[in-house]
Amino acid sequence: MRARHFGLPALLLLFVWAPGLSAQLAVEGEWVHPVAGPPIENGVVLVGADGRIEAVGSADEVTIPSGYERISGAWVTPGLVDARSVVGLAGYLNIDHDQDQMDLSSAIQPELRAIDGYNARERLVEWVRNHGATTVQTGHAPGPLVSGQTMIVKTRGGTIDEAVMEPVSMVAMTLGSPATGIASGSPGSRPMAVAMLRQELIRAREYRDREEGTGARNLRMEILARVLDGEIPALVTAHRDTDILAALRLAREFEFDLILDGAAEAWLLVDEIRDAGVPVILHPPLAVHSGVMEHASYETPRALLDAGIPVTIQSGFEQYVPKARVLLFEAAPLVGHGLSFDEVLSLITLDAARILGVDHRVGSLEVGKDADLVLYDGDPFEYVSRVCTVVIDGRIVSDECH
């Protein structure tokens, strides 16, 4: 990623987030896409001082009260929801002090908390925000067998306390060849990877079932016990059909909630995934289709949606700089590959929010929800269009076209 030069307004938006009331806003759009309902021509979204949406409708239906600040765009959508990323732990400088998304000292480290490594002022956070991502599940990257925890944040604020929505959302795991040999003590084969994970889950079950108050605390076992109790899903990165099936078997054996991550060959296992009731956070569509992803397909979202499987896409994690992609750009090619504009927009807003369990707050423009909005100068999925204004919790956090 090319380094950006920050002027004073951009620096203020990046580093200053004073607590208190938001401004009262009237957001006007030639087209407003609530996602929860049909598009509105010449639409208006009213935002209250509490940072929540007060009204959504056409200009003929919604009266703008005096005193409301008016902002406008050609197209208006909810803030985008990126269901899998490493921003905030991975930084744009790509040097040791800003690369906390992966610890290679051990193959199994579920006790690593994303909240302890997140930098709300990281320029990668600003970068994805400037391209419309207002809510992100971020945390430890795929690779090690169990790499750590994820969390859900808003892409604003100067500290993690101001940004965080859910401090622990999932536990990140990886099956298949990417998990073999990457970290100290890593398995050397697929069978060994599954065996090691099974053994760790058995230990966690025994830890959970022991008499309360006996023995020393074990952070690793505590978090895995929460997975076994259904409090936290396991986010398992698995691309090959054999690895996806292994993840489904583990979830069935230990009765934990599973969310598939990556899942390049999910189109081969539509019936199995549907019958297991497992949501899928698909790989970034523009990721290179090679290695474990050589059989990835642009048509996979269509196949999963037709089967009634909850699905979204992600910006993901890349080994090279800048470590994350732009969700908006990843979604654009899906329009025309079996999906309509409305379906693709829903994938990266309401569908993602539902899978993350935060759809009561974000993902659509509805009265009472957080006022997270993105204003564009044209069709969001046209590459010549730009994000020009981003609003989070009723506050304008970006007002330059990107």
Lowest mean pLDDT among 3-17, 85-99, 153-167, 200-214: 3-17
* 44 & 100 share domain: no
Residue type, 347: L
Residue reference for tokens 């994350």: 324
Note the pLDDT of residue 195.
Answer: 98
Instruction: Examine residue 346 and state whether it is found in any structural domain, yes or no.
Output: yes
Note the pLDDT of residue 368.
Answer: 98
Closest CA to 230 of 252, 255, 205: 255
Note the pLDDT of residue 3.
Answer: 35
Average pLDDT over every residue of 334-359:
96
Residue reference for tokens 């023995």: 215
Q: At residue 76, does pLDDT exceed 70?
A: yes
Q: What is the pLDDT of residues 223-247, one digit of tens each?
A: 999 999 999 999 999 999 999 999 9
Note the pLDDT of residue 97.
Answer: 82
* 151 & 238 share domain: yes
Give the separation between CA 264 and CA 340, rounded to whole angstroms.
21
* 288 & 241 share domain: yes
Instruction: Work out the burial of residue 302: count CB atoms within 10 Å of its CB; fewer than 13 is exposed, 13-18 middle, 19 or more buried.
Output: middle
Provide the CATH number for the domain around residue 384. Answer: 2.30.40.10
* Contacts with 38 (C-beta within 8 Å, 6 or more apart), sequence order: none
Domain span at residue 318 reads 81-356
Question: Strand 133-139 and strand 80-85: pairing?
Answer: parallel
Q: At residue 1, does pLDDT exceed 60?
A: no
Note the pLDDT of residue 329.
Answer: 96
Lowest mean pLDDT among 23-37, 48-62, 208-222, 274-288: 208-222
Alpha helices in 35-141 (DSSP H): 123-130
Banded pLDDT at 13 (limits 50, 70, 90)? very low
Q: At residue 18, does pLDDT exceed 50?
A: no
Note the pLDDT of residue 21.
Answer: 59
Q: What is the pLDDT of residues 29-49, one digit of tens each?
A: 999 999 999 999 999 999 999
Residue type, 217: R
Q: At residue 213, does pLDDT exceed 80?
A: no
Q: At residue 331, does pLDDT exceed 90?
A: yes
How confident is the prediction for the chain on average, in pLDDT? 93
CA angle (123 as vertex; 332, 284 as ends), nearest 5: 30
* 317 & 374 share domain: no
Instruction: Examine residue 13 and state whether it is found in any structural domain, yes or no.
Output: yes
Query: Cα-atom radius of gyration of the chain, to the nearest Å?
Result: 21
Q: At residue 174, does pLDDT exceed 60?
A: yes
Q: What is the pLDDT of residues 116-137, one digit of tens each?
A: 999 999 999 999 999 999 999 9
Instruction: Examine residue 2 and state whether it is found in any structural domain, yes or no.
Output: no
Instruction: Examine residue 3 and state whether it is found in any structural domain, yes or no.
Output: no
Banded pLDDT at 212 (limits 50, 70, 90)? low
Please, what is the angle between helix 190-209 and helix 241-254, to 10°? Answer: 20
Q: At residue 83, does pLDDT exceed 70?
A: yes
Give the separation between CA 141 and CA 399, rounded to whole angstroms.
31
Note the pLDDT of residue 28.
Answer: 98
* 251 & 391 share domain: no
Please, what is the angle between helix 219-228 and helix 190-209, to 10°? Answer: 90
Give the separation between CA 254 and CA 135, rounded to whole angstroms.
31
Instruction: Work out the burial of residue 265: count CB atoms within 10 Å of its CB; fewer than 13 is exposed, 13-18 middle, 19 or more buried.
Output: buried
Give the separation between CA 96 and CA 304, rounded to whole angstroms.
39
Residue type, 169: S
* Contacts with 290 (C-beta within 8 Å, 6 or more apart), sequence order: none
* Contacts with 241 (C-beta within 8 Å, 6 or more apart), sequence order: 265, 268, 269
* 344 & 370 share domain: no
Average pLDDT over every residue of 148-163:
97
Q: At residue 20, does pLDDT exceed 60?
A: no
DSSP codes joined into one string, 20-35: SPPPPEEEEEEEE--S
Banded pLDDT at 16 (limits 50, 70, 90)? very low
Instruction: Examine residue 138 and state whether it is found in any structural domain, yes or no.
Output: yes
* 68 & 176 share domain: no
Q: Count the domains in the chain.
A: 2
Is pTM beyond 0.75? Reply is yes
* 143 & 21 share domain: no
End-to-end C-alpha distance for the chain, whole angstroms: 14
Lowest mean pLDDT among 102-106, 213-217, 253-257: 213-217
Banded pLDDT at 15 (limits 50, 70, 90)? very low
In Å, the largest CA–CA distance within the chain is 67
Instruction: Work out the burial of residue 214: count CB atoms within 10 Å of its CB; fewer than 13 is exposed, 13-18 middle, 19 or more buried.
Output: exposed
* 202 & 309 share domain: yes
* 107 & 251 share domain: yes
Q: At residue 17, does pLDDT exceed 50?
A: no
DSSP for residue 4: P
* 59 & 137 share domain: no
Provide the CATH number for the domain around residue 274. Answer: 3.20.20.140
* 144 & 264 share domain: yes
